[in-house]
Amino acid sequence: MVFHQLLTSTGELLTYIRTLKMYGWELLFSSWLMETRSLEVKHLATRKYLDAWCVFFWATTPSLFSLCTFGLFALMGHQLDAATVFTCLALFNTLISPLNSFPWVINGLIDAFISSRRLSRFLSCPEHRRKVGENSSCSSSFPSKQPDSLQDLAVSMQDACCSWSSSDEQALNPVLNHVNLSLSKGSFVAVIGEVGSGKSCLLYSILGEMRLDHGSIYSNGSVAYVPQVPWIISGTVRDNILFGKSYHPERYADTVKACALDVDISLMIGGDMAYVGEKGVNLSGGQRARLALARVLYHDSDIIMLDDVLSAVDVQVSRWILHNAILGPLMKGKTRLLCTHNTQAISSADTIVVLDKGHLKWMGSSADFPTSSYTIFSPLNEMDSTSHNQKSCSTNSSISKEQSLPDRIIMDSLEGADDIIEVELRKEGKVELRVYKNYAAFTGWFIAVIICLSAILMQASRNGNDLWLSYWVDTTTEDGQTSYSMSFYLAILCLFCIMNSLFTLVRAFSFAFGGLQAATKVHNRLLSKLINAPVQFFDQTPGGRILNRLSSDLYTIDDSLPFIMNILLANFVGLLGIAIILSYVQVFFLVLLLPFWYIYSRLQFFYRSTSRELRRLDSVSRSPIYTSFTETLDGSSTIRAFKSEDFFFTKFTDYITLYQKTSYTEIVASLWLSLRLQLLAAFIISFIALMAVVGSHDSLPINFGTPGLVGLALSYAAPIVSLLGSFLTSFTETEKEMVSIERALQYMDIPQEEQDGCLNLNPDWPNQGVIEFQQVTLKYMPSLPAALCNLSFKIEGGTQVGIIGRTGAGKSSVLNALFRLTPICAGSITVDGMDIRNIPVRELRTHLAIVPQSPFLFEGSLRDNLDPFKRNDDSKIWDALEKCHVKEEVEVAGGLDILVKEGGTSFSVGQRQLLCLARALLKSSKVLCLDECTASVDIQTASLLQSTISSECKGMTVVTIAHRISTVINMDNILILDHGNLAEQGNPQILLKDGTSIFSSFVKASSM
């Protein structure tokens, strides 16, 4: 469970690393991870020290057995002879392997039992059920055939109550309450309502993603769906649009054009075969929304559900999409449900559905819509949406002439897969010596020396024990007389046994301690390097690849590597002891082994080089499984809506198959070695036995020594090949396990952000909030065009400034430069006269407040989410929630102590944005940056928030990136960016009066 919690927290950290860096929370999150990790290490330590006791008892067994057996045998008056002693020794040695395996068998059985119990619990969970055929319902209790009265309807909801509860009990708080809805085929329906009113839940209920507690829901026909946070798969642009369907060039071209993607694609290296990173990291928010919309258009489904797709694009692109995609020929005759706050779309709808706190408040045609009752339609400044709607057709044609398609992509231009997503490196050849040195350094050099010395002395004491028995046999005459007293022989035997036990104990526990030290240091170093890596590294590296190192590779370093290295060391000193004993007894044995050593070395060369590369392939082939699995889970609702389960299941099975092939090949390689070593062992044993018999008849000129030494030599020669096989296997396995250290070291060499700075900040910095850009140029990659080109402007302290521009104009790049997420190529940025390059980067970020474009809530209490450093009391937190118009929802949910689910899924996207704004207000910084923070909020709430920001942020510098003109119309100043250049700057009211200004053309294109 601790490992699962650690994996979840690590995944959350990697997913939201960009936002965490903007907040300056990386160290806070890493400290929480360290706490969870320390708990895991405690459990690991308990297991490792228990294993050390097992190793101790296993390794001392032969010496203890020989002491007790031969001691009692001699004390009972029996005579020791070579046949008795060395037959017993050989039998004792055969006990080692089963005794050694027994604890690991028990461990394996316990692990298997726990894993099977967790799997059975998971597999027993209720599954998502959907009716076969065109008609689907949320509950299996409804008839699969629809009544005749519903045949002309695309969607019908009759007294539907839906909740997110997965239990069989009736939900106490349904999200949708007694909704009655009938949508005719081919209609365009706009679903509107305030934040948290249940708009997204309405779509989820039709998709069958929610639990239907009461009533019935029917959908007639195939379904396509775009979620509020567009789901993008890692692959080419074409893969994202086709989504498993066959390629039809004409429809594909029409789709791309309707979604305003053709210019974007033409600017990409590789065109539509350019690679899109995980979660679309190398695309802007607007591009992700349009790519998801293109997928829906291409699929030609009967019912199309769009969750707020227009909020991520600017007004001109929004209008193009509305008239060419949603209302265009490709969707003609389709039933379209659009959750939106966009007034253009609402004006164009056939039917408007108004939701309020889960209830259907009003439904009817747009002509009957009571506009006076809803501020969403009231003219906020100077334009009326109705008049705009009348002119929409003529204006639409003028747009297509004025600009065939929107925005040149600058900030997030796509490169080829080689540039954007780096291919995972796989080293070749043997594991370098520096990898072993690094592991020894992680273990601690003193501990490493102690382990080696204790292992050598342990083997020496064991060999001494056997030599002393041999000497005892040789000094015993036929009539039972000995050179010394029996007590003397037993005392020496006992001394060897005590020494062996002591050195074994030291070796076992020092190895356990060293392994834990290495595991802790590798994790901490790796996490530290990842935390301090620049955002670009995470954009170029799929999360599954990083997670693979922080899960599978770390598990190997924690558990498997110390275990197999312990066996390797034992085998090595065992072979060393045998070589010395055989050399002492008779050099002739070594001469006989020379040809066999040549065969053995050739075998081990082929096996080691093959198995090492197979292990590297195994590690590399595991990463796509993690990536694909997490990606599929994130987009499960989209996959089910498109009925593409088989496509993704096949894709995942292909990854599993590739991984299984490498694993199977590894097993076959080990069996290949095992067969050849067994044949070699049989031949060597036969040869040595034959030589011993021939030598005993004085047929050879070389004498084999005393009977005791001959017996000792034979008892040592018998297991030598099995020991050689075990040594080779353990050495190869160690090499394979060391690949995990090698892979961890790769990520310890990644580029790091510059953390140092020569300026120390006062706690109340910035005092004025003056921001100045001087000739700033920013590139995301050397091969890409500049996202900001010699940009210069000054924002006076205490003013509210809006930054607007087309998608990809460089708006978010301004914030990236200000927060030093991407280093600038030229120019300088100052805040209150201080060059931010001279300020420690983490300190800079903690002194600025931001509400990011993608709202971020982590798994934990709501209080921790809003105030993780616990600097504010509850009254201040409630006050901030009230100012952000989300207090009531939090009270209903259960207050500040409620547990927020992973990713903040307990709240709607709009509510998450409001909570992030409350978090920013609690920070009380002099500079507040808002990146599309009201994009998923209805216009009424957005208007209230604007007045809140105006009143609460007096004296603060507020920098707002917005697509809605209504957001920036009353600000002190606006900056209009175009292709990374400052196209226009000034007071919005003055610019509005100038008919030739760019801002006035933006206003004309917007219904606000």
How confident is the model over 779-806, as pLDDT tens digits? 887 877 888 999 999 999 889 999 988 7
Q: Which two tokens stand for residue 789?
A: 């080109």
pLDDT(367) > 60: yes
Q: What is the 3-state secondary structure (H, E, C) of 407-451?
A: CCCCCCCCCCHHHHCCCCCCCCCCCCHHHHHHHHHHHCHHHHHHH
Lowest mean pLDDT among 57-61, 426-430, 564-568, 985-989: 426-430
Residue 432: band (very low, low, confident or very high) from pLDDT cuts 50, 70, 90? confident
Sign of the alpha-carbon dihedral angle for 21, 26, 27, 28: positive
Mean pLDDT across 903-908: 78
At residue 2, the pLDDT reads 67
User: pTM score, two decimals?
Assistant: 0.69
Lowest mean pLDDT among 474-478, 799-803, 900-904, 912-916: 474-478
At residue 959, the pLDDT reads 92
Distance (Å, whole) CA 849 – CA 923: 7
Residue 45: band (very low, low, confident or very high) from pLDDT cuts 50, 70, 90? very high
Angle at 479 between CA 478 and CA 480, to 5 degrees: 90
How confident is the model over 494-537, as pLDDT tens digits? 898 899 899 999 999 999 999 999 999 999 999 999 999 998 88
Q: Which domains does the chain have, with CATH numbers?
A: 2-104+430-630+643-746 (1.20.1560.10), 771-1004 (3.40.50.300)
Question: How many residues appear in the chain?
Answer: 1008
- Report whether the peptide linkage leading into residue 227 is cis, meaning its omega lies within 30 degrees of zero: no
pLDDT(637) > 80: yes
pLDDT(656) > 50: yes
CB burial string 935-954: b at 16+ within 10 A, e below: bbbbbbbbbbbbebbeeebe
**Percent over 90 (pLDDT), the chain:** 18
Residue 406: band (very low, low, confident or very high) from pLDDT cuts 50, 70, 90? very low
Please compute Rg for the chain using Cα positions: 36
**Residue predicted with more confidence, 398 or 165:** 165
- Residue of 735, 741, 437 whose CA lies nearest to 612: 735
User: In this structure, what DSSP letter does residue 766 have?
Assistant: -
Distance (Å, whole) CA 58 – CA 635: 51
Mean pLDDT across 178-191: 90
Mean pLDDT across 858-865: 88
Residue 698: band (very low, low, confident or very high) from pLDDT cuts 50, 70, 90? low
Q: Where are the beta strands (DSSP E) in 765-806?
A: 771-778, 788-795, 800-805
Q: Are the C-beta atoms of 335 and 154 separated by less than 8 Å? A: yes
* Chain mean pLDDT for the chain: 81
CB atoms within 10 A of CB 868: 16
At residue 818, the pLDDT reads 92
Distance (Å, whole) CA 675 – CA 509: 35
First to last CA, the chain: 50
Distance (Å, whole) CA 755 – CA 771: 21
Q: How far is the CA of 902 from the CAs of 5, 68, 728, in angstroms?
A: 11, 60, 46
At residue 706, the pLDDT reads 62
Q: Which two tokens stand for residue 947?
A: 């007045």
Highest-scoring range by mean pLDDT, 279-288, 552-561, 720-729: 552-561
At residue 670, the pLDDT reads 83
Q: Read off φ and ψ for residue 160, nearest 5 degrees.
A: -80, 130
At residue 611, the pLDDT reads 83
At residue 745, the pLDDT reads 92
